[in-house]
Structure formats: C-alpha cells, structure tokens
Chains A and B, each alone.
Chain A
Amino acid sequence: MPSPDSAAPKRTPLFDLHRELGAKMVEFGGWEMPVQYSGILEEHKAVRERVGVFDVSHMGEFEIAGSGATAYLQRLTPNDVGKLAEGHAHYSAFLTERGTFVDDLLVYRRGADDYMLVVNAGNTPKDFAWASSRVEGGVSVANKTDEVALLSVQGPRAGDLLNRAAAEPVTDLKYYSFRMARVFGEPALVSRTGYTGEDGFEIYLQPAAAPKVMRRLLEEGRGLGILPCGLGARDTLRLEAKMALYGNDIDETVTPWEADLGWVVKMQKGDFVGRDALARQKEAGVPRKLVGFEMIDRGIARHGYPAQTAHGAGIITSGTHSPTLGKPIGLALLPTAASAVGAEFEVDIRGRLAAARVVPTPFYKRPKEAPA
C-alpha cells in the first residue's frame, strides 16, 4: 500500500538488523518493512511448528488517559471497555457513523483510566485525527508510535523462548492479558497476543532496546528453530486463522456484521459511534458477508478479483496459497443469500472464470495442547 503522501517511507529501529539478516524490504503502510528473510513458506512453517519473531514496530500506539478515558473509549469503540479488567486487552475498532470500519485495533487497559490503543500502521495518522477530534473533557490522547518498538514472538515454542528471555514469569499470562516485564533486562510490556493463530507474545519496548532484544531472541531461540519472519508470512498466517486485514477485508465500506466480527460489537453497553447505523442494518438485514473459500478450479483468487454468485456480484478481499493446507484459500464478501458453507461461486481470475466454494473458517486452528 503506498503511503498517503510522497514522503520517504519510515524506518523502524530494526531496519539495519533486517538488512544484516538479508531481508527483502518493501513499503507497507508508509513504512519500509521486511517482507521476507529466508522465504515465506519456510517462515510460515517455523511459526506453525516452532517459533518466529516479527518486527511490527510499524503499528501505531496511542495513549489515552485521564479521568474521562473510560467513558471516552466507551463512546468511541464498540467493544465494552467497562468489562475490560486492568492487565487485559481486547479487540475493538473505530467505527464511522455509518457503522463501518475506520480501523480495527487493540485496547490495552493499563490502569483504571490509562489505556494503550494499537492501530494499523497505514491508518495511524487518520486514527489519531479521528481520536483527537472527538476528545472530551478530562481525556488526553497522545500518539506514541515513534516511542514504541514492537516485536511479536509467535509459535508453539514462543513460551519456551519467553521463559528464557523475561526476568518475570509471563507464560502464566492468559490469552489477551499482559504485564510489565524485563526482557533481556529491558523494560517492556509483554502481552499474550498475536496475528498468526498460534500461541504467542507481543513485546512493546523502547526503540533503542529493540535491536539488542531481537538479536538476543534470535540467539536464544536458535535451539528452538527460530526464524526471523516478515510481512509475507504474517499475511499467510493471519489469513489461515481468518483474521481480518484492514484495507483488504475491512474498510470504511464494511460493517462488523458484514465482516463476521459482530462479537466485537456490544449493543447493550450503551451508545457509541456507529451504533444507530448498526442497529438499522441488523433490523433491515445484512446484505453481504465475509466468508472463507477454497478453489474448485485451479488458480489463486486474489484481493480485488470480482466474484459472481447466483445472487449477484461479490468481491475477493484476500487470497493466497495456504502454506499449511498446500492449496489456494481466500476471503470474499458475498451476497448473504450466497454465503452459506458449501455455496459455489465463480471468480474472475484475470479474465478466466474459476469455480470456488464457501468453506467453514478458520482454515487453520491450532491444536489445543502444544506438542511436547
């Protein structure tokens, strides 16, 4: 995705290390990021079977604080911040008045009135303007993106690596909870979160500490079979887990009902931006749904390819070769009447019509217990 202006892409504090590790760099969301090191398939496999480390310092971080912070976030986001305990995080969004996605994001509750929001890189300026323009009394909103580096350690062996890396215990953390810990001596916020469908941890830390910590993770993880992983593997991993990618699967034209993300919306909690439109859409009927599909005919259906169903047109929002399944998979927005599991439709692959079928998702679900 090109950056909104023609300014040179930003670099994370790990740029030099990526070069040293032989990464292929691409521009993404206004940042110069590693797309792959050894290869997408190999990196994908490392995360599914062992452990991988990603630099995701391009993500945006906002601090929301002050006596009105909780009320402010209740109004600005559709998930129920009132039910979010300190030390826990949840998935949420900014919605337009039309109930569509300004962005999807994570909300971390650090204290009674102290929050961190983690937003998509390409949306950071837009989100910051959105949040700032809606500030109420007793709330401060600060963009801390340039003061925070973020490493994501993902895979069944991620816990083993964090046990070696962190001075405090972190493997007792429940999914979507976090605590402050020292990682190789560096102060960090460690959360049990990720975007891969595997067990994993995200480590928020000072930019100056990031190169040392990533180096040490790679050293300590060598015996576990760790690989540095790029955005290419991050995309195939998240797609197999059916996690939405902003700009592909969701954007300012798509509502949470349509995106199969209705669980994020807590209609009973009180008013929030977008609520009225979502109530109206639920009443009127949701016209289209985001579904997973597999190909019946040969070919890879990719983002933006048109779909034709018995009930009208749809669109492919994401599509790739699934490294775990060894076949093409994807997500599509299809008319609701054509979105049931088993329904067949056609994809226009560069002028050739290829048959596809709606399948249950996620495409990949990790085993309950990590293999010993």
Chain B
Amino acid sequence: VNPENLRYTRSHEWIRIEGGTGTIGITEHAQKELGEIVYLELPEVGRVYGAEDEFGTVESVKAVSELFVPVSGEVIEVNQRAVAEPGIVNDDPFGDGWLIKVKVSSDGDAEKLLSAEQYTAYLKEEEKHA
C-alpha cells in the first residue's frame, strides 16, 4: 500500500524527489489515524525549512497534528486544492492529496529517510506497541 517510489518519515510524511523537486504529503496510515480531515494550515511559497522542521498542521474533527518536512528546502508550490477541499487528503493521500513541493537544497537529507519496505516494517512495529 505504501508506494515503492516514495521515501518516508517516522512522523508519517512521504516525499517523492524528481529532478531536485520534492513533493510532500502524508501517508495512507496518517490519514486513516487522523480520520476526516477538515482543515490544513500550509506555508507560503518561498518559506525555507531545515529537515524535520514543522511546516504546517493538519486537523481532523477531533485532533490536530503537526507536519514536518522530510528534507531541507524552499517551498515552491502549495496544493491549494487540498487547502480548499481537505477531504482529498483522505481520499488520495499519495496522489491528489499532496501538500507542498519544495526545491530540495541538500541531496544528503533523503538518505536518512525510510524506504517503503522500512516504513511498512516501522508501522508493524508501532502497531505492536500500541
């Protein structure tokens, strides 16, 4: 269920890096845990973040959850459709429900991220401790 071509964080974000641009979203697991998403707070284009900085929040009816950038970089695009209709993050977290795109500033950051296989194993481990 977690696409092979993405990299993952332990805080349940994903990133797809293509030609220096990283597209970032939250995982299927994250959207399921949150429940129906009703509100997204996302940054302005031009904001610069270090890896693991908080870049926004996602809120369901019940809960608020912080969003963290997997790699350092500058925000070059924000998914305004997701801001207007947050439900698409539930419906298609790995596709139309992406959140921001960043110009990736350091290739090194991505090395520390989890592969699909590692992330899936991490979820299994988390479930055991729940």
In contact, B61 and A40 (Cβ under 8 angstroms): yes
- Residue numbers in B under 8 Å from A70 (CB-CB): none
Let me know if A39 is at the binding interface, CB within 8 A. Answer: yes
**Docked complex: A1-49 residues within 8 A CB-CB of B:** 24, 35-36, 39-41
In contact, B57 and A232 (Cβ under 8 angstroms): no
- Residue numbers in A under 8 Å from B36 (CB-CB): 39-41
In the assembled complex, the CB of A120 is this many whole angstroms from the nearest CB of chain B, namely 19
How many angstroms from the CA of A328 to the CA of B41 in the assembled complex? 14
**Docked complex: A289-329 residues within 8 A CB-CB of B:** 298-300, 302, 320-321, 323, 328
Could you list which residues of chain A lie within 8 angstroms of chain B, going by C-beta atoms?
A: 24, 35-36, 39-41, 232, 235-236, 298-300, 302, 320-321, 323, 328, 350
Let me know if B55 is at the binding interface, CB within 8 A. Answer: no
In contact, B39 and A41 (Cβ under 8 angstroms): no
How many angstroms from the CA of A43 to the CA of B35 in the assembled complex? 12
In contact, B35 and A300 (Cβ under 8 angstroms): no
Once A298-B41, A321-B59, A350-B57 are accepted as A-B contacts, the answer to whether A232 and B35 lie under 8 Å apart by CB is: yes
Let me know if B62 is at the binding interface, CB within 8 A. Answer: yes
How many angstroms from the CA of A235 to the CA of B61 in the assembled complex? 10
Beyond A40-B35, A321-B59, A328-B39, list 8 extra A-B contacts (CB 8 Å).
A24-B35, A40-B62, A41-B36, A232-B61, A232-B62, A299-B39, A300-B38, A320-B62
In contact, A236 and B57 (Cβ under 8 angstroms): no
In contact, B61 and A35 (Cβ under 8 angstroms): no
- Residue numbers in B under 8 Å from A350 (CB-CB): 57, 64
Q: How many chain-B residues does the 8 Å CB contact rule pick out? A: 11
In contact, B35 and A36 (Cβ under 8 angstroms): yes
- Residue numbers in A under 8 Å from B64 (CB-CB): 300, 302, 350
- Residue numbers in A under 8 Å from B38 (CB-CB): 41, 300, 321
In the assembled complex, the CB of B59 is this many whole angstroms from the nearest CB of chain A, namely 6
How many angstroms from the CA of A24 to the CA of B63 in the assembled complex? 14
How many angstroms from the CA of A235 to the CA of B36 in the assembled complex? 15
How many angstroms from the CA of A70 to the CA of B60 in the assembled complex? 46
In contact, A300 and B62 (Cβ under 8 angstroms): no
- Residue numbers in B under 8 Å from A236 (CB-CB): 61
How many angstroms from the CA of A315 to the CA of B41 in the assembled complex? 22
In the assembled complex, the CB of A168 is this many whole angstroms from the nearest CB of chain B, namely 37
In the assembled complex, the CB of A127 is this many whole angstroms from the nearest CB of chain B, namely 26
Partner of A39, one of B35, B41, B57: B35
- Residue numbers in B under 8 Å from A299 (CB-CB): 39, 41
In the assembled complex, the CB of B123 is this many whole angstroms from the nearest CB of chain A, namely 16
How many angstroms from the CA of A302 to the CA of B61 in the assembled complex? 10
In the assembled complex, the CB of A287 is this many whole angstroms from the nearest CB of chain B, namely 30
Q: List 20 A-B contacts (CB under 8 A).
A: A24-B35, A35-B62, A36-B35, A40-B61, A40-B62, A41-B38, A232-B35, A232-B61, A232-B62, A298-B39, A298-B41, A299-B39, A299-B41, A300-B39, A300-B59, A320-B61, A321-B61, A323-B61, A328-B39, A350-B64
